[in-house]
Structure 1
Amino acid sequence: MRIGNLLNRVAGAAVLAFVLLVTSTGLAIWWNARQDARPASDAIVVLGSAQYNGVPSSIFEARLEHAIALYEEGVAPVIVTVGGRAEGDEFTEAEAGREYLANGGVSRDALLAVEEGVDTLESMRVVATAFGEHGWTSAVVVTDPWHAMRAERMAEDQGIDAESSPTRQGPAVQTRGTQFRYILRETAAYLLYRATGESVAGAPGIG
């Protein structure tokens, strides 16, 4: 066999393997987005998103409302909000989330704001530290459907026994076109994380 033909076959196999990897990852994200795990856990962790002068964005609000439903269902006795402050912001995402939940009827004794984290990976790292301080080991992670698989994986990699219960409301699930864009973005972000162990900045809740 000529070297040229061998190289072409190797290149073709590599391209095929890459396509299969991307496709299978996208399908896994799509499948995971349709799951809803609600085991009894130590805490419900709500990943932050944009807030405006202390008022959660529509994406963030949908997550918080879902967390309230899980809390009222008795999934966990504590809700943890996580997320730092963007440049120029007066409030952190975690703080805005905590106040929304408190105003929504959740006891402040059942709320913990972890006011750090600029992306999903950093958020999971600081949440894991908080879990260690409180002796917690298990969590139900609340985020958008397409973000759930990567968020759950990052939590597990930080030593948290994590399941995900994504919200079914909000802009991230409004149209099929939006869903497709989120799946493509999450596929790239998930593969980057698995390859490098690092996160990537993106749209709110995607980094």
Structure 2
Amino acid sequence: MRFIGATRRRRIDGNWQRFAIALALFLAGVLSLAVDVIVACGRSDSAPADAAMVLGAAVDGDTPSPVFEERLRHAAALYESRRVEWIVLTGGVGQGDTLAEAEAGRDWLIAEGIPVERLLVETRSRTTRENFTLALPLLADHGIDRVLIVSDPLHMRRAIRMALDLGLDAHPSPTPTTRYQTWRTQVPMLLREMYFNVHFHLTRH
């Protein structure tokens, strides 16, 4: 009986050890991904490009949301500093909206003095991947090769991976300011991006 009890204890101990190792590996993977997303926030390409591609975000009626406005303001600064020749706006009509995100962004930029002939608009996409795939014909039609991807810093890691995966000569240009400024807003955004980064890698093929 003592032998049986000792064997059972060793089996239980072995199961706990395997569980502890698996948990440690999982937590290490989560931490590594979080660090990867955060590190990507600080990467910004300062070299000129053919265009700035603004990834769509929500609109309030026909007005860009504060998050979207940060992206538009950054794209306008890139154009005004002559770092890009075009601004490509992406984003379709969201649920409950009547105006496409890209159209709202175009109107905002025109009001800021950006020439309408320098704006290219894609109005059908609903996801980050669609932002890129549906904008590809616009890039080809206007001879645009090198693009700066404009989005929120925490979104940049996934956006660049997607763009490169689709064959774009894409480079990061995250907004220098962000609406995600507190832990209460940053942590959910970080967790969301970690989830979608994993989802992208699992479904990319």
Query: For the superposition of Structure 1 and Structure 2, which TM-score range results when normalised by the shorter chain?
Result: 0.7 to 0.9
Contact map agreement 2:50 2:144 (CA 8 A) in 1:
yes
Query: Which residue of 2 is the match for residue 76 of structure 1?
Result: 84
**What whole-Å deviation, never above 9, does each CA across 1:71-106 have from its counterpart, x for those lacking one?**
112221000010000234221001110111111111
Match of 1:186 among 185, 189, 193: 193
Contact map agreement 2:153 2:178 (CA 8 A) in 1:
no
Offset at 1:10?
A: 4.7
Instruction: Provide the rounded CA distance (Å) in 1 between the counterparts of 2:38 and 2:161.
Output: 15
Worse-matched range after superposition: 111-120 or 131-140: 131-140
SS at match of 2:25: helix
The count of residues paired between Structure 1 and Structure 2 equals 197
Contact map agreement 2:91 2:100 (CA 8 A) in 1:
yes
Contact map agreement 2:120 2:138 (CA 8 A) in 1:
no
TM-score (norm 1): 0.86
Aligned: 1:32 with 2:40: yes
Instruction: Provide the rounded CA distance (Å) in 2 between the counterparts of 1:147 and 1:94.
Output: 18
- 1:48-197 aligned at under 5 Å gives the runs 48-172=56-180, 174-197=181-204
Instruction: Provide the rounded CA distance (Å) in 2 between the counterparts of 1:14 and 1:139.
Output: 41
Residue 113 of structure 2 aligns with an amino acid whose one-letter code is G
Instruction: Provide the rounded CA distance (Å) in 1 between the counterparts of 2:156 and 2:162.
Output: 10
Residue 140 of structure 2 aligns with an amino acid whose one-letter code is G
Instruction: Provide the rounded CA distance (Å) in 2 between the counterparts of 1:38 and 1:95.
Output: 27
Worse-matched range after superposition: 95-104 or 80-89: 80-89
Alpha-carbon RMSD across the aligned residues, in angstroms, is 2.1
Instruction: Provide the rounded CA distance (Å) in 1 between the counterparts of 2:166 and 2:11.
Output: 46
Instruction: Provide the rounded CA distance (Å) in 2 between the counterparts of 1:16 and 1:129.
Output: 45
Instruction: Provide the rounded CA distance (Å) in 2 between the counterparts of 1:17 and 1:124.
Output: 34
Residue 35 of structure 1 aligns with an amino acid whose one-letter code is R
Aligned: 1:44 with 2:79: no
Identity %: 34
SS at match of 2:95: coil
Contact map agreement 2:79 2:85 (CA 8 A) in 1:
yes
Offset at 1:132?
A: 2.8
User: Could you say which structure has the larger radius of gyration?
Assistant: 2
Residue 149 of structure 2 aligns with an amino acid whose one-letter code is V
TM-score (norm 2): 0.87
Worse-matched range after superposition: 93-102 or 183-192: 183-192
Cα distance change on mapping 1:8 and 1:127 into 2, 3 Å: farther
Residue 120 of structure 1 aligns with an amino acid whose one-letter code is T
Contact map agreement 1:38 1:163 (CA 8 A) in 2:
no
Match of 1:14 among 22, 36, 53: 22
* Structure 2 runs not aligned, ≥5 long: 1-6
Worse-matched range after superposition: 13-22 or 95-104: 13-22
